[in-house]
Structure formats: structure tokens, C-alpha cells
Amino acid sequence: MASKEKDTSSNNGRSLENWLWEAACSIRGEIDASKYKDFILPLIFLKRLSDVFEDELNNLNKDRKIAKKLVDADHSLVRFFVPEKALWDNITRQTTNLGEYITDAMRLLARENPRLEGVVDVIDFNQSTSGQRTISDASLRKLVEILNRKRLGLKDVDTDLLGRAYEYLLRKFAEGSGQSAGEFYTPPTVAKLMSCLIDPQPGDEIYDPTCGTAGLLVKCNDRFIEKYDNKPKIKQPKYYGQEINPPTYAMAKINAFMHDMSAEIAIGDTMNRPAFKEDNGSLKKFDKVLANPMWNQKFDQTVYEGDLYNRFAFGYPPNSHADWGWIQHMFASLKDDGKLSVIIDTGALSRGSGGGESDKEKAIRKAFIEKDLIEAVILLPDNLFYNTSSAGAIIIINKNKRHKNQILLINASKLCEKGRPKNFLRDEDITFLTQAYKNWKEEENISKILRLEELRNGDYNLSPSRFVMQEADENLPPIEELIIELDKLEKERSRIDLELTTIFKKLNLK
């Protein structure tokens, strides 16, 4: 393949982003937007591995043959051993059967590097559906040509810049994936807020049980670097994540590698088969836990009843809403002085006051409140998330609360920039909310500190909009209260219908 002149100049973040997006667009239209990330992201990663491998060979010995012999004899001399077939230069020279060649190269790379199994070898670049290639060799060749314009070696691109560009690409994929995006991606401004609230410290072990593409963990790593500026002798945090979807798991692993993070990402069903355990079989405990699990996920009661790890001591959630099931898993994964932060559906803050099955959720909320474990609740603006226009909420649970028998409620529903297709938190919004939480003070129309008795009187409703009214909404009750009131009216209607039916039956008997 004829290679274009490579850009070996200094790569700024915008240049990298534009280059990666151009590469993505080269196969856009041939396959669904939600799928082309599965092809381009492993190829970008392969190029990074190959370029770094070549740099490491040069650092070992200027004579490439000698360096290659050394590495062939001892793979530990390099971060990842890239076999001859998977070297980027050899891929660019392939003129026929490119999809088959890349697939074989990726599988060989995974065999040589067990850490890459299930990461680079999960996609068949030669796959067909109904006799039609998913992505043609012509499109693959165009993609490889575009990627070949820049080197991604040790001196060519800063790890931080490459990681940010990769995150940019994930965001662009999420925007193009519509409703499916929420399954693998948390909007970066929300993730940044979460990282500020969780506040990673030196040596922390930080865990995300529903990590998607590892965006929350990456933002925690960014936050730590921002605070400590890679100072020597500062112990870096260790990151852990679990993801159920294989392609998303692969993206999470690549994301962690691209950001040069110390991360252990596992694949599997966290709720049924949590991956991180101690030697005695109990759940591993972490300093910090954060997550954005699927809202209102449905699990059968047997999931909770058959639990082997004593995770659901506060009660079993209803089949239709697993939010408080996820929170209990996260709580069970905390060390004795640990803290968790979770994004949930706002309904989980108030469901139950009207009776019915969701009473189970109120019972769990009550238990957490009475044990003085909930530290703060933040109501987010609407239309932030890719898979819904609804507002979400952040709950912070802390085993080592600074302010006993108090909960800070923050109504941040108006703190955002309106955007298309989605709203987003501005840097000043993130700073304001982080300081509001840290400074622990009431501010009119924004925050209120509640004591236990007030929460009891409020029927354990944690919705900030119930207690902190925005100026424009002063005459309107919170939507959660309207839903509860509607539920009560519906139950009253059913009761009256039953009474009337009984009366009519008695009249007929007469």
C-alpha cells in the first residue's frame, strides 16, 4: 500500500481529535454508527502498540536485529510484544484479504499477550452478514491509510493527549449511538463532577461495578493527576472495573491502556457474579466506589434471595427497580471508612410513599437514613444523558461522615449550558457543586441541610426538589410529589370501584 507522508510533528489535542474523527468517518455509512467503534478503536490501539514497540526496540539497541533477538528471548523487556504479522508497517503493505489479515494479526497479538485476550481479538474484520461484508477491504484500506498519517510512539504523542483524544472519540460514538449510548458511556462533564465528589487520594483503590468504557475511572485518574501533578513518591490510585458487555469491556481495557492507568478491568455480570473477591471468597473492599448503573433495571427476586455475599441486608428492591440493589452492592464493596457516589433515576429518591411494591425502596432508603450513612444528594439538570432526557441524581454515601445526622440536598437542576443534542455541565458548574458539597452550607434556592427528624417527617423522601425550590418553580410542586399524589388517587379510585362493585352485587342478590 502506498503510504502517505507521516505527520511526526507535535500533536496537539485538537489535531489528534480531528485525525481520529476523520478516520472514523472514513467507514461511516457503510456500517451502523453504533458498530463502527468496534472496528476503529482496536485498530487505533494496535497502531499505538506497534509504534511504541518499535520505539522500545530502538531504545534497547540501535541494531534492530539485535534488539529483536533480545525481545524474542524475553518478552518482559517491552510493555507488549507485537509479533511480526501485527506490526503496523506490515498491515499497511497488505494489498489483498486485508480484513482476514488484520483479524489473524489481532488474534496472534492476543495469544502473545494474555492481557489483551478479549480486548483486541473480539472483532472479525472479515465478518459477513447474509453474504455481505460488514466492512469492505476497500474501506479498511482507507481507514488504515488515514491512521498511517500519524505516529503514536513514545515521543510522538503525550499519553494524556492521546487518552483525551480517545475519550473524545468515545463521546462522538456515544452521540451517534442514540439510545444505546447510555449502556457504555457517561457524559464527560457528569463523570468529571463524579470524580471531584469522590476526590481520589494517594493509594486509593477505586471501583466501578458497571464501568462501561471506564469513563468514570478515567476521570478519577485525570482528577488525581490534576491534584498531584505526577509528583514523585506519591502513590498512584489503583482502579478496578467490571463490565458485562464484551465489546464495551474491550473498549474499557483499551481506554485504560491509552491513559496509562493502573487498572484491572474484569468481564462479567456484577450483580450475579462479582469479579473482585478476597482469598476467603468474600467481596473485595475498596476505598472509593462510583458508578452509573442502568436505571430501573429489572432483576428477579431470586437474584437477591440467592446472594452469597450478604449484599442486600437493607432489604430486597422490587423486581422493576434495581437502583437500591446496585447501591447495596456498592456499599457492601466499601472499606470501613469508604465513600461511594452513584448516579440513579430520580424516582429512586422518592418511590414508596404512595404504597405498593415500591414500599420496598422506601424501606431501604429509611434504613440507610436511620443508620446515618447518606451524606448528600444532588439533583442534576435534565437532558444530560445520551439515552434519556430525564434528570438524574447523585447520591453520596459515606461510612465516615463529617456531619453526623445531617444530609445535604442540592438542587442543581438549572446549573447547566443548554446544548444540542444534549445539555452539559460547565466547568464553573462543576466547581460550584464540588465546593457546595465540601463547604457544607445552605444557599437559597440551591441547597439545604436536613436533619433526621425532618426526613422522618418527609416520609424518607430524598428528592432535593421537595426541599429546595427553584425560583421559577415556586408555585409548582415537585414532579415526584405529583406522581405520588397521582398514585394515591389511583389507589383511592380502585378502592371506591371495589366498594361499588360489592354494593351492586348485594343489590342484585336482592
Mean of the pLDDT values across residues 109-127? 93
Tell which residue, 20, 245, 270, has the closest CA to residue 122: 245
Q: CB neighbours (10 Å) of residue 355?
A: 12
Query: 87: pLDDT confidence band, cut at 50, 70 and 90?
Result: very high
d(CA 261, CA 219): 11
Distances (CA, A) of 58 to 3, 45, 85: 22, 20, 19
Listed range (84-88, 180-184, 398-402, 455-459) with the worst mean pLDDT: 180-184
Residue ranges covered by each domain of the chain:
13-157
Whole-number pLDDT of residue 349:
94
Mean per-residue pLDDT, 316-325: 94
> Which range is least confidently modeled, 8-17, 327-336, 468-477?
468-477
pLDDT of residue 419: 84
pLDDT at residue 7, as a whole number: 47
**435-457 mean pLDDT:** 93
What's the DSSP call for residue 495? H
Contacts of 429 (CB under 8 A, 6+ apart): 189, 193, 412, 415, 416, 417
In a 3-state reduction of DSSP, which class is residue 448?
A: strand
Mean pLDDT, residues 365-370: 96
CA distances from 67 to 52, 53, 83, 361, 446 (A): 14, 11, 14, 62, 62
Q: How far is the C-alpha of 194 from the C-alpha of 293, rounded, in Å?
A: 13
Per-residue pLDDT band for 367 (boundaries 50, 70, 90) equals very high
Task: Tell me the average pLDDT across 49-61.
Answer: 96
How far apart are alpha carbons 40 and 353 in whole angstroms? 48
C-alpha to C-alpha distance for 133 and 126, rounded to whole angstroms: 7
pLDDT of residue 38: 81
The answer to whether 286 touches 333, Cβ cutoff 8 Å, is yes
Average pLDDT over residues 341-352: 93
Residue 113, SS3? coil
Beta bridge partners, 263, equal 239
- Band (pLDDT 50/70/90 cuts) for residue 2 is very low
How many Cα atoms occupy the beta-carbon half-sphere of 67 within 13 Å? 14
Which helix (DSSP H) or strand (DSSP E) does residue 288 occupy? strand 286-291
Q: What is the pLDDT of residues 292-308, one digit of tens each?
A: 999 999 999 999 999 99
Instruction: Name the residue with cell 472479515.
Output: 126
Return the percentage of the chain with pLDDT > 70, whole number: 88
φ and ψ at residue 104, rounded to 5 degrees:
-65, -40
Based on C-alpha coordinates, what's the Rg of the chain? 26
Express each pLDDT in 399-421 by its tens digit: 999 999 999 999 999 999 998 88
Query: For 227-278, how does the pLDDT look when each residue is reduced to its tens digit (9 = 90+)?
Result: 988 677 889 999 999 999 998 899 899 999 999 899 999 999 999 999 999 9
Q: CA 294, CA 301: separation in Å to the nearest integer?
A: 17
Burial class of residue 310, CB neighbours in 10 A (0-12, 13-18, 19+): exposed
Q: What is the CATH superfamily name and number for domain 13-157?
A: N6 adenine-specific DNA methyltransferase, N-terminal domain (1.20.1260.30)
Q: Are strands 392-398 and 334-345 parallel, antiparallel or unpaired?
A: antiparallel
- 5 has pLDDT over 60: no
Model pLDDT, residue 471 = 61
User: What is the pLDDT, as a whole number, of residue 356?
Assistant: 53
Q: How far apart are alpha carbons 32 and 10 in whole angstroms?
A: 33
Q: Is the pLDDT of residue 151 over 90?
A: yes
User: Where do runs of H (alpha helix) occur along 113-158?
Assistant: 137-147
Query: What pLDDT is recorded for position 474?
Result: 46
- pLDDT at site 50: 97
Longest dimension (CA), the chain: 107
Residue 478 phi, psi (nearest 5): -60, 150
| Rounded mean pLDDT, 126-152 | 90
- Contact (Cβ atoms closer than 8 angstroms) between residue 43 and residue 143: yes
